[in-house]
Amino acid sequence: MTNTIKSEYTTHGKRILEGLLDKAQWKDLLAKGKVIYKGRNEIHVLELNGHKVSVKKYGKPVIFNRILYSLGVRTPKALRSYRNAQQIIERGFQTAVPLGYEIHYRNGILQDSYFVSLWAQGTPVGSVRKVGPLMRALAQYTVALHEKGLRHLDYAQHNILFTKQHNRYQFSLIDVNRFVFRSKPLGWLDTCLNLMQPFVGNKQLKIFVTEYAYARRVNKDALVRWVLCFRHLRNGYSDVKHLLRKLPGAHYFSRKAKRYSSKSANK
C-alpha cells in the first residue's frame, strides 16, 4: 500500500503552518479547532501561530469520481479552490486568502483533500432582513464581477459575505471551487444563469435583477423575463430529480453505491 501527498503552500501559509504538519496528522490538528460546518464536507476553524485559519476538508467522492480525479480527468476540489482564490484576488476581488492545499492518495487513488485559507471576515448576505441598500450594492458588485469575466457557479447568499464601513459595502466570495473565468465580460447566457441564484423569492430576485440592469445599462424587462425563465426551468429540473429519488428502489441503489465507495476507500 503506497500513500502519497500532493500539496502546495504559499510563503505566508508555510510561515503559519511551520512545523505543525510535521508533528501531527491532519486529524489531530483539526481536533484542536472548532467545527463550524459538517455535512458532505467539513469546515474547521483554528488559531495557528496568531492567525485565524479555516480548513475545508472535502468529503470523499464516489469511487468513480475519485478515479477521474486521480487520473487528472477532473481537478480535485481542494486544488481548484486554491487556484481560483488566487485568481480572484489577482483580478481585484476579495475572497478568503489562500494558504495552501493538500491531497492524499492511496495506491494512486484520491482519499482526503484539504484547502487551507485565512478566515474570511464578513456577514452572509442571506442573514440580513432589510436588504434594500445592500441589494443595490450587491447588484453593482455583481456587475463589476461580470464585467471582469468572473462567474461564481454557486452564487448563493451564504457564499457572499459583506462588511460595511462608512456607509460603504465591501463583498467577499467564499466556497470558490466552482468558478468560471472569462477573458471578456460575461455574455447574456452566463449573466442570466448567474443572476437567478442569489435570491430565493421571485419578488426579491426581480428587484435585484432590475438594479443589476440599471447598473449595467441593459434592457431591464428582457433581463428580468429571461432570468425568471431560467429560474423556472431550473426549479422544474430540481423537482424531477426529487421525484426520481422517490422511485421504488432508488434509495436502495443509492445506499449500495455509497456502501461500495466506503468499502473501496478502506481497502
Which pLDDT score is estimated for 26? Answer: 81
Q: Which amino acid is at 186?
A: L
- Distance (Å, rounded) from C-alpha 134 to C-alpha 123? 12
> At 110, is the secondary structure helix, strand, or coil?
strand
CA atoms within 13 A on the CB side of 80: 17
Query: Which stretches of the chain are DSSP H helices?
Result: 11-16, 20-23, 26-30, 63-71, 77-90, 132-147, 188-195, 202-216, 220-245, 250-266
> Where do the CATH 3.30.200 domains begin and end in the chain?
3-118
The residue behind cell 486544488 is 79
For the 123-240 domain, the top CATH level (class) is mainly alpha
> Where do the CATH 1.10.510 domains begin and end in the chain?
123-240
> At 114, is the secondary structure helix, strand, or coil?
strand
**What's the grid cell of residue 188?**
447574456
CA distances from 39 to 35, 36, 150 (A): 11, 10, 27
Which pLDDT score is estimated for 27? Answer: 81
> At 173, is the secondary structure helix, strand, or coil?
strand
Which pLDDT score is estimated for 252? Answer: 47
- Distance (Å, rounded) from C-alpha 159 to C-alpha 154? 7
Are the C-beta atoms of 114 and 101 separated by less than 8 Å?
yes
As its CATH architecture, domain 3-118 has 2-Layer Sandwich (3.30)
Count of C-beta atoms within a 10 Å radius of residue 35: 12
Which pLDDT score is estimated for 163? Answer: 96
In order along its 267 residues, the chain shows pLDDT tens digits of: 688 999 999 999 999 988 776 656 788 888 889 999 999 999 999 999 899 999 999 999 888 889 999 988 999 999 999 999 999 999 999 999 999 999 999 999 999 999 999 999 999 998 887 778 899 999 999 999 999 999 999 999 999 999 999 889 999 999 999 999 999 999 999 999 999 988 878 888 999 999 999 999 999 999 999 999 998 887 776 767 667 676 665 554 455 444 544 444 344
As beta bridge partners, residue 47 has: 52
Provide CB contacts within 8 A for 164, sequence distance 6+: 170
**What's the grid cell of residue 134?**
445592500
DSSP element (H, E) containing 113? strand 109-118
Q: Which amino acid is at 48?
A: L
Dihedral angle of Cα 259, 263, 265, 267, to the nearest 10 degrees: 180
